[in-house]
């Protein structure tokens, strides 16, 4: 019996990364901006998407991929707004992977402006998986507390934008907005930060402007 050492140097998530890159390239070619939404359960991911849908609907076409451990509830909420939605039920898995998005890919209409992917509610595991998005958007709701960026660094370092949600509760809760913003920027100086309330329709337009200007840049790159 002979022993042999083999140097491999392969990324463990290399196959996910490869599928994600293929998805990104194909969607970019169609001129679709893809946004991966991360956040804890109850951070307000679906409510934010409902508000975005209301505002985008008149002039832009969007669709949503919903990731949940169980139930079709989130997709139903989005469909009720007249928006196409696919539900991925992970059956226990705590995150979405690129191959799950890949399965839906053939059904995605080519004339979309935006594809939103709402990840499974979890501030840890989804951060490790590229889904082929152009923008990763992490949510932090006011009830969760202003100390979360340093407690969950991976989600905040890998994101492009931070959306602080439920800002209507700022008056009622000891959430220090400055502290949350500063901590997030210490961990990731490139973060774009938005403060929103889906309930009071505040800050959503600014977030949409950011998505629109990103879409514009993507299409300029294509042209």
Partner 1 sequence: MHELSIVASLFEILEEKAKEKKAKKIVSVKLKVGALSGVVPEFLETAFNIYKEDTIAAESKLEIEEVPLKIECQQCGAEMVKDDFVFICAKCDSRKLKTLAGTELLLEKIEVEV
Interactions with partner 1, residue window 169-188 (CB under 8 A): 186-188
Measured from the CB atom, the residue of 60 and 154 that comes closer to partner 1 is 154
The minimum distance between CB 151 and partner 1, in angstroms, equals 10
Task: Decide: is 3 part of the binding site for partner 1 (CB under 8 A).
Answer: yes
CB 74 within 8 A of CB 46: yes
Matching residue, tokens 């997030």: 184
How far is it, in rounded angstroms, from Cα 127 to Cα 94? 11
Interactions with partner 1, residue window 103-162 (CB under 8 A): 124-125, 127-129, 150, 153-154, 157
Structure tokens at 41: 């359960």
Find all residues with CB under 8 Å of 200, minimum gap 6, and list them. Answer: 167, 168
Interactions with partner 1, residue window 81-100 (CB under 8 A): 93-95, 97
Q: DSSP class of residue 90?
A: -
The minimum distance between CB 65 and partner 1, in angstroms, equals 18
Measured from the CB atom, the residue of 61 and 99 that comes closer to partner 1 is 99
Q: How many CB atoms lie within 10 A of CB 207?
A: 20
Measured from the CB atom, the residue of 128 and 176 that comes closer to partner 1 is 128
Q: How many CB atoms lie within 10 A of CB 180?
A: 22
Stretch that binds partner 1, among 14-22, 35-43, 106-114, 203-211 (CB under 8 A): 14-22
Q: How does strand 33-38 pair with strand 135-141?
A: parallel
How many residues touch partner 1 (CB under 8 A)?
33
The minimum distance between CB 85 and partner 1, in angstroms, equals 24
The minimum distance between CB 120 and partner 1, in angstroms, equals 10
The minimum distance between CB 190 and partner 1, in angstroms, equals 9
CB 125 within 8 A of CB 13: no
Measured from the CB atom, the residue of 3 and 221 that comes closer to partner 1 is 3
Measured from the CB atom, the residue of 16 and 195 that comes closer to partner 1 is 16
In DSSP notation, 190-213 reads T-EEEE-BTTTTBSHHHHHHHHHH
Q: Which residues of 115-138 are buried (b: 16+ CB within 10 A; e: fewer)?
A: bbbbbbbbbebbbebbbbbbbbbb
The minimum distance between CB 155 and partner 1, in angstroms, equals 8
Residue numbers of the site for partner 1 (CB under 8 A)? 1-16, 93-95, 97, 124-125, 127-129, 150, 153-154, 157, 186-189
């Amino acid at each position: 019996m002979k022993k042999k050492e083999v140097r491999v140097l392969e990324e463990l998530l290399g196959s996910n990364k490869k599928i994600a890159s293929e998805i990104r390239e194909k969607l970019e070619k169609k001129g679709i901006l893809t946004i991966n939404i991360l956040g804890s359960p109850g951070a307000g991911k679906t409510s934010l998407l409902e508000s975005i849908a209301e505002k985008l609907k008149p002039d832009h076409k969007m669709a949503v991929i919903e990731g949940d451990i169980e139930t079709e509830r989130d997709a139903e909420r989005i469909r009720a707004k007249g928006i196409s939605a696919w539900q991925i039920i992970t059956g226990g898995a705590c995150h979405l992977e690129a191959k799950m998005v890949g399965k839906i890919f053939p059904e995605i209409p080519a004339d979309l402006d935006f594809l939103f992917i709402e990840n499974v509610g979890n501030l840890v595991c989804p951060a490790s998986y590229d889904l082929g998005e152009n923008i990763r958007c992490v949510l932090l709701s006011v009830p969760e507390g202003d100390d979360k960026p340093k407690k969950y660094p991976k989600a905040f370092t890998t994101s492009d934008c931070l959306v602080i949600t439920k800002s209507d509760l700022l008056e009622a809760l000891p959430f220090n907005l400055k502290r949350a913003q500063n901590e997030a920027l210490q961990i990731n100086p490139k973060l774009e930060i938005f403060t929103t309330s889906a309930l009071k329709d505040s800050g959503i337009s600014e977030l949409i402007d950011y998505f629109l200007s990103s879409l514009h840049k993507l299409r300029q790159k294509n042209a």
